[in-house]
Chains A and B, each alone.
Chain A
Amino acid sequence: MSSNTVHTASGRTLDELNIEALCADEVTAEDFRINGQTLHRQADAAEAAGYWQLAESLRRAAELTYISSQEVLDIYNTLRPGRSTYHELITLADRLENDLDAPLTAAFVREAAEVYQERGILRNS
């Protein structure tokens, strides 16, 4: 992708991410976060090359760019085996869909909840 089409999550252009700006404290680590739109474009490129599952993963990633690192870690732990009840997973999915604008991730969590229930790897009670 060319540098003038890329914006960071904070809305800066790539050209603004230079050493002078950095030393003048005009840009911070937050300005080096990848933008959801960029991930969507990468997803399109992956899909065009036949990597449709990578594309799906990159689209889920695009949703996660808006979610804090701590929350991302928490969701990961929630999805690990024996960590959550069915209800907790569905609640998470609803939150992802309704509050965090992450419908793809929400659907993925719902699917996990169904399979975990069927295979008995949910937390008891």
Chain B
Amino acid sequence: MRSKRFEKLAGRPINRETFIKPWPEIGLIAMDSPLDPSPSLKIEDGVVVELDGVRREEFDLIDHFIARHALKLEAAERAMNKPSREIARMLVDINVPRATILELASGCTPAKLVDIVQQMNVLEMMMGLAKMRARRTPANQAHVTNRKEHPALLAADAAEAALRGFAEIETTVGVTRYAPLNALAVLVGSQTGRGGVLTQCAVEEATNLRLGFKGLTSYSETLSVYGTQDTYIDGDDTPWSKAFLGAAYASRGVKTRYTSGTGAAALMGHSEGKSMLYLEARCLLVTRGAGSQGTQNGSISCIALPESLPGGVRTVLAENLIAMVLGLEVASGNDALASHSEMRKSAKLMLQLIPGTDFITSGYGAIPRYDNMFGGGNFDVTEMDDWYVLQRDMQVDGGLVPVREEEVLRTRERGTRAIQAVFEAFGFPPITEAEIEAAITAYNSEDMPNRDKVADIEAAQRLLDGPLTAIEVVKALEEAGFHDVAANILEMQRQRVIGDYLQPSAIFGDDFQVLSVLTDPNDYQGPGTGYCVEGDRWSVLQNLPQAWDPRTYLENLGTAQHEPWLEEIGPAKKGDQPEVIIALGPAFGAEIDHTIGGLDHRDVLSAVLRGIEDESVLVRVVRIHHTSDCAFIGHAGAQLSGSGVAIGIQSKGTTVIHQRDLAPLENLELFPQAPNLDLDTYRQIGRNAARYATGQPTTPVPVKIDNTARLRLIVQTTLLHLRETQQVERDRSPTALRVS
């Protein structure tokens, strides 16, 4: 036997996902594996001789690195001896400043850090994020890629992403050899949209480094670290080689952050039976120990693996928190597709969006998912408006600003023309006018003409191997008249010389002002402190292009210049015939001339009259002045009706069939969903009222039910009702109307 409800549930997006029971021995456990060690630290003569239950003789690569570089031994004794629950409570205590926690955490082993966050529920962890985030101002990072690796589209999309407020833009490639051109297009595009956006091209380390050295990229977050030695070796690196790489980037003025996340070691088959969170804590200590200013963590591309397990999403939040208590900048995941279910995906996002992180996502698809070469991405450009609305709903800053279509089109055009000029100056395969036109308005790369891939790859190779650098890009743009874009790219190069953006959590605000842990440290300590969405920023975030001014709506009501067609001809008298009274609201056909469903009041009244005529029953039309309430309008009409039956119609179109002997809030039939009423329905309402008036058996009028009507139109309902209520004259009796 199959329940139809269970059948329906089985087909829901959430059930396309995999849910499993934990299996600790192979690392399929989110946190608290029975094989996780208890926290321990033994120091002899300034040397760590035991770390989380492992004696120095048994240290693997990672233990060695952590023991030598990650721990502040002076802080260790106090930190390790303080009960984990006490530290967890300090984390949510607004009276304990961030610095106190940082000092304690600097002496904690991986198992100790895990033990602390395991004491906390998600709400407490979110409090922890709000306090421990390094940078006061939250920000966001974009993905800009496309399947055709089309430079004009990359430049246009990067320009748009920069305009939308992303502080960093990350691109990558389908075909590795395109990397230099993609980096170039995203650099030029981003600096067209807003000077100071940091950019990177995620490719193999050696190429990545060369792109950075040339000034074509300004940051790199490709430095993966792992929680077990075998995973590290499979990743073809060691903590030492990665730490060297970090210094190499810094030596050329390039910002870096490490990347790691729960699930990676299990996925690669080397979990050693440890929980995902414990292994990630090891990664984060390696990150800190290597001198990385920050991390991209939050499971990243493995997100579905912790999510398959109980407590997985809490674990992913916990790993963000551990990174933050270590003082690291955190680009907090939400980048790889996290769920088929919109509900689950959004709920997961809230854990980072509400408290705020340095980068709420470590890659939001500023392009359609079709073109996202980072595995499709969790969010895409079609969900931008959802994001803006969430920011506006909760008065939180997710790092994005609403934009107008005209300015987006303008910026995209300028971005594509700038890259066209650079291609021309470099003698690269030309970008044609047709390509520019397509890129300005494109939805995705299917809208773009195909390019000669062989020629583009050849140009990319020349860019990588030859002498061209960002400096030649500046020159080409300046000479082609793109002075502002040239100035921005030049400033990016000057900033490499200054190096202020190598400090933790650095981004560029307006006018290349560096916002980092040194210049903009998070100082949240409860209500009224820390980052507040207020003033100009709040004005910008709430000013959606879709938001309209309700004053204008009211001003435009009933302005169509009709000849008056409803003439008041004196007080309405009580009738004694078998008639139907049509009782109209105070503004009907005058101050308001359409229903909320857009029907002309004349057509509505004609339809009702025709319905009554169908039944050959007498009718009188009156206007009610003393109330704007539909039930009372109908009830007042019924008191005048010879048959006792009346139809009450509010100006917004809500209608009731009333009867003299009923209480005001009772009725014969009520039609509360005015937007769903059409003229046929109004005619049937007239017909039914006539049948009630003449005592005939009557079937209620069938009505369409659309429960979204209220959701869509509640503001219009409010405004129309307000206008009608403004016409109420409390002491005035109903008047008879002549319809012309």
Contacts and interface: CB of A to CB of B under 8 A. Distances in A.
B248 A76 contact: yes
Given A61-B247, A116-B238, A29 B215 contact: yes
B497 A119 contact: no
Given A60-B247, A119-B60, A73 B229 contact: no
Contact of A62 (B214, B251, B498): B251
Contacts of B684: none
B136 to A, nearest CB: 14
Contacts of B517: 49, 51
Given A69-B213, A79-B238, A61 B205 contact: no
A111 interface: yes
Contact of B246 (A32, A57, A81): A57
A42 B500 contact: yes
Contacts of A39: 250-251, 499, 502
B122 interface: no
Interface in B191-240: 205-206, 209-210, 213-215, 229, 232-233, 236-238, 240
Given A19-B490, A33-B253, A76 B245 contact: yes
B233 A50 contact: no
Assign chain B's interface to a size class: 35 or more
**In terms of DSSP, what is the predominant structure of the interface of chain A?**
helix
A34 B478 contact: no
Interface string B231-269: 011001110110111111111110000000000000000
Given A34-B252, A53-B288, A56-B291, A22 B490 contact: yes
A100 interface: no
Contacts, number: 192
Contacts of A82: 233
A17 B494 contact: yes
Given A29-B469, A57-B291, A111-B240, A14 B251 contact: no
Given A23-B475, A50-B102, A57-B246, A112 B327 contact: no
Nearest to B236: A80
Nearest to A53: B291
Interface string A4-33: 001010000010011100110001110011
Contacts of A72: 209, 248, 251
**In terms of DSSP, what is the predominant structure of the interface of chain B?**
helix
Nearest to B232: A81
Contacts of B252: 33-34, 65, 69
A52 B72 contact: yes
A17 B243 contact: no
A48 B245 CA distance: 24
Contact of B499 (A29, A34, A50, A116): A34
B503 A112 contact: no
A29 B106 CA distance: 39
Contact of B518 (A18, A49, A58): A49
Interface in B453-499: 469-472, 474-475, 478-479, 483, 486-487, 490, 493-494, 496-499
A25 to B, nearest CB: 9
B250 A14 contact: no
B610 interface: no
A20 to B, nearest CB: 9
Contact of B498 (A1, A27, A51, A54): A1
Interface string B284-298: 000011111100000
B545 to A, nearest CB: 35
Given A46-B503, A54-B292, A64-B251, A38 B471 contact: no
Nearest to B238: A81
Nearest to A10: B497
B241 A65 contact: no
A21 to B, nearest CB: 10
Contacts of B475: 22-23
Given A53-B291, A65-B251, A119 B504 contact: no
A81 B205 contact: no
B498 A121 contact: no
A115 B475 CA distance: 48
Contact of A80 (B68, B241, B486): B241
Contact of B244 (A45, A46, A108, A115): A108
Interface string B565-582: 000000000000000000
A3 interface: yes
A90 interface: no
5 contacts: A19-B487, A29-B215, A55-B291, A56-B69, A115-B240
Interface of B: 60-61, 64-65, 68-70, 72, 99, 102-103, 106, 205-206, 209-210, 213-215, 229, 232-233, 236-238, 240-241, 243-253, 288-293, 327, 469-472, 474-475, 478-479, 483, 486-487, 490, 493-494, 496-500, 502-504, 517-518
Chain A to chain B: the 3 pairs with minimum beta-carbon distance, closest first: A57-B291, A64-B251, A61-B250
Given A19-B483, A29-B470, A109-B240, 4 more contacts: A58-B291, A60-B244, A63-B251, A81-B238
